[in-house]
């Protein structure tokens, strides 16, 4: 996968850098694994805007992803690697011998025709899913479960990966992409490898219109608003005062927001870099 730069034949193309999609093998998704995906425009069930700067965008359909990888000890063949408009990572269509098809989050380097396996008998190879207790130390993993049988819920974004550091008692110590080291049950399942599309962070959309296609509307700074609209608003000319904060008054730049009595804090061995502790 690489980044494609454009000749500046227009003003917007001068700064446009997009994916070349070399890894994508088809542009036709599996119809049986599609579901409706209705845009909310940032509105709740009452029609009130609860999330700003959202709306519009191209119509999308949701791809049903197998996060659980619970088809144990049955080898699957990679039929295609596809683009998913809903997520940053690419997805892979897996064909099983019994005729069933499933989408999985594609790891970086997965090729069409490759065979993958999930379960305790699986080898620690790219694309295979197995419990943390069966993996060798130092393994690079993604799509990690936090609760056995619930499906992978962390390390799913493009280009991310975690590392298995240690095993002790019934827990494994896993270093997450943020730098946090966390205890996770050895019975939880994860997938070997790094999430596909590592060049996602290098994209430059080039123009505001391309963000509108993705459903993102223009974002206004708080300092240009009136005092009734934002705590940072008001003032004469360009002047604005006060400590940076959100529109509901919560301070930014260092405010500790994690609850000191959060139940899952007992599983955190080392906080992520930059975290200064719990809320006082």
- The chain-wide mean pLDDT, for the chain, equals 94
Could you read off the pLDDT of 66-92 as tens digits, one per residue? 999 999 999 999 999 999 999 999 999
Could you read off the pLDDT of 172-193 as tens digits, one per residue? 999 999 999 999 999 999 999 9
Report residue 6 as tokens: 């454009």
Q: How many CA atoms lie within 13 Å of 270's alpha carbon, on the beta-carbon side?
A: 13
The CA-atom distances, in angstroms, between 108 and each of 89, 128, 132, 193, 251 are 9, 12, 20, 7, 39
Does residue 280 register a pLDDT over 60?
A: no
Could you read off the pLDDT of 10-55 as tens digits, one per residue? 999 999 999 999 999 999 999 999 999 999 999 999 999 999 999 9
CA–CA dist 196, 88 (Å, integer): 9
Domain ranges of the chain: 3-200
Report residue 7 as tokens: 């000749």
Please give the class, per CATH, of domain 3-200. Answer: mainly beta
Could you read off the pLDDT of 111-142 as tens digits, one per residue? 999 999 999 999 999 999 999 999 999 999 99
Could you read off the pLDDT of 221-261 as tens digits, one per residue? 988 999 999 999 998 888 877 789 998 899 988 888 889 99
């Amino acid at each position: 996968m690489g980044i494609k730069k454009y000749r500046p034949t227009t003003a917007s193309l001068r700064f446009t850098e997009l994916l070349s999609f070399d890894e994508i093998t088809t542009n036709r998704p599996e119809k049986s694994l599609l579901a409706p995906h209705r845009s909310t425009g940032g509105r709740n069930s009452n029609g009130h805007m609860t999330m700003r700067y959202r709306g519009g965008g191209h119509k999308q359909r949701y791809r049903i992803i197998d996060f659980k990888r619970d088809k144990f000890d049955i080898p699957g063949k990679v039929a295609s690697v596809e683009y998913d408009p809903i997520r940053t990572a690419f997805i892979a269509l897996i064909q099983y011998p019994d005729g069933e098809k499933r989408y999985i989050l594609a790891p970086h380097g997965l090729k069409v025709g490759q065979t993958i396996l999930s379960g305790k008998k699986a080898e620690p190879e790219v694309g295979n899913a197995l419990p943390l207790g069966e993996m060798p130390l130092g393994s690079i993993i993604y799509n990690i479960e936090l609760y056995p049988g619930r499906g992978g819920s962390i390390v799913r974004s493009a280009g991310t990966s975690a590392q298995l550091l240690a095993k002790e008692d019934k827990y494994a110590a896993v270093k997450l992409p943020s730098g946090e080291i966390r205890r996770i049950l050895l019975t939880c399942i994860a997938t070997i490898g790094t999430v596909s599309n590592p060049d996602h962070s290098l994209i430059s959309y080039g123009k505001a219109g391309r963000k509108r296609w993705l459903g993102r509307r223009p974002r206004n700074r708080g300092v240009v608003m009136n005092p009734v609209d934002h705590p940072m608003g008001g003032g004469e000319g360009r002047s604005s005062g006060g400590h940076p904060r959100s529109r509901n008054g919560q301070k930014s730049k260092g405010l500790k927001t994690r609850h000191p009595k959060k139940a899952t804090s007992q599983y955190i061995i080392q906080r992520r870099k930059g975290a200064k502790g719990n809320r006082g």
